[in-house]
Structure 1
Amino acid sequence: MIIIVTGTPGTGKTVISKKLAKAYNHKFIDVKALLEKSTICEGFDEQNECLIIDPKKLAKMLIDLINKNNRLIIDSHLSHYIPQKYIDLCVVCKCEISELKKRLKERGYKDKKIRDNLDAEIFDVCLTEAQEQYKHKILVVETSEGYKISSIVKKINDETKHSSP
């Protein structure tokens, strides 16, 4: 099974992805770590403090991984760029704005980057792209303060059982 976990930076993707990988005995793929080692990065955007990525090249790189292993949990705010036909479930992490702001400050993000990420969360950028552009089967999970990771994993487990052929 291939599960992608997407959402605005700071919404809990990595924590959920690692727990899912352990629960399902799947390989955890940290896309950010892959990108830092890959040749598909086109540079670094100093103003926005992020890598410059061509979504088509990213999708190709991830599809190559999927073709080699059909038991993956893919963690990235860009993972929804993988075409739907390769994905069993897209989990979109959502977080209350005040909690997200706190998390991003704790990471040491500068004010502009915090504002950009808060805007992305407010306007549901990852969810909208996953729904409209890529038409993934989506499960939205709330990861604000006080969430229980075990409840989220159970919700995902229930969803994947229902989606099995």
Structure 2
Amino acid sequence: MFECLVIAGTPGVGKTSVARIIAEKVGGLQLDLSELVVGEGLYEYFDEETGSYVIDEARVSRRVREICSGGKPVVVATHYPEVLDEVIIDRVVVLRLNPVVLWDRLRTRGWSDRKIAENVMAEMLSVVLMNAISKFGVGRVVEVDTTGRSPIEVAGEVLEKVSKGYTQEKFIDWLSIVDPGFLEELERVLSDEQET
């Protein structure tokens, strides 16, 4: 079915849960790219301002290539699929989540309003999806809406789309769906944080 499948999306959309289920179903390995980066020191430095690691893309790509060459199917969960070597990746599935639901979900993580707003804005603007398409091409990228669905349901849809070679024809446009007032609130949070 696949050697190396990427499950991508903004934080909070369900990547890790879905990747774990898929790996179990195919007898493969689930790899959380963020955990790999931190656990194996595959970063250049820690950015205090953003509260995140700046990854060493060449080392990360090389390490994932090694893992994906191990003979078992690998399911990689990440919010930055564009750092991976397109030669070893069979498909990229971008999980999407209604931005209003994502806001509520990320609030439970204890993150700052700014960090939440940045991630929700990235989801609204399809940043992970666009990065994946730019790197891997539209024919190798599909998306799945996780809103109101269990990880088991989502994993089933992912496996079906991947096994059938599904080609995405239309992509989600949250900007046309979400209340404009929500977008204004996000912009307010981001501008307030910049002024302080």
2:163 aligns to what SS in structure 1?
helix
Q: Distance in 1 between matches of 2:105 and 2:71?
A: 33
Query: 157, 160, 176: which is aligned to 1:158?
Result: 160
Which residue matches 1:141?
A: 144
Q: Distance in 2 between matches of 1:135 and 1:59?
A: 18
Q: Does 1:103 align with 2:105?
A: yes
Query: 46, 49, 58: which is aligned to 1:47?
Result: 49
Whether the 8 Å contact between 1:81 and 1:134 is mirrored in structure 2 is no
Which residue matches 2:178?
A: none
- What are the superposed Cα offsets for residues 106-155 of structure 1, whole Å, 9 maximum, x if unpaired? 011111211111121111111001101332611201112x2133332222
**Aligned residue pairs, count:** 163
Q: Distance in 1 between matches of 2:132 and 2:42?
A: 22
1:68 aligns to what SS in structure 2?
coil
What amino acid maps onto 1:124 in structure 2? S
2:67 aligns to what SS in structure 1?
helix
Q: Distance in 2 between matches of 1:149 and 1:111?
A: 26
What amino acid maps onto 1:46 in structure 2? E
Q: Counterparts in 2 of 1:79-118, with a 5 A limit?
A: 79-118=81-120
Whether the 8 Å contact between 2:45 and 2:54 is mirrored in structure 1 is yes
Which residue matches 1:60?
A: 62
Which residue matches 2:24?
A: 22
Deviation of 1:23 (Å):
1.2
What amino acid maps onto 1:11 in structure 2? V
Structure 2 gaps of 5+ residues are: 167-196
Deviation of 1:60 (Å):
1.6
Query: 19, 33, 44: which is aligned to 1:31?
Result: 33
Between stretches 73-82 and 26-35, larger displacement belongs to: 73-82
2:11 aligns to what SS in structure 1?
coil
Which residue matches 2:127?
A: 125
Deviation of 1:38 (Å):
1.5
Identity %, equivalent residues? 23
What amino acid maps onto 1:143 in structure 2? T
Deviation of 1:97 (Å):
0.8
Between stretches 24-33 and 135-144, larger displacement belongs to: 135-144
1:84 aligns to what SS in structure 2?
coil
Structure 1 gaps of 5+ residues are: none
User: Structure with the greater relative contact order (CA < 8 A, sep ≥ 6): 1 or 2?
Assistant: 1
The two structures have a TM-score, normalised by structure 1, of 0.90
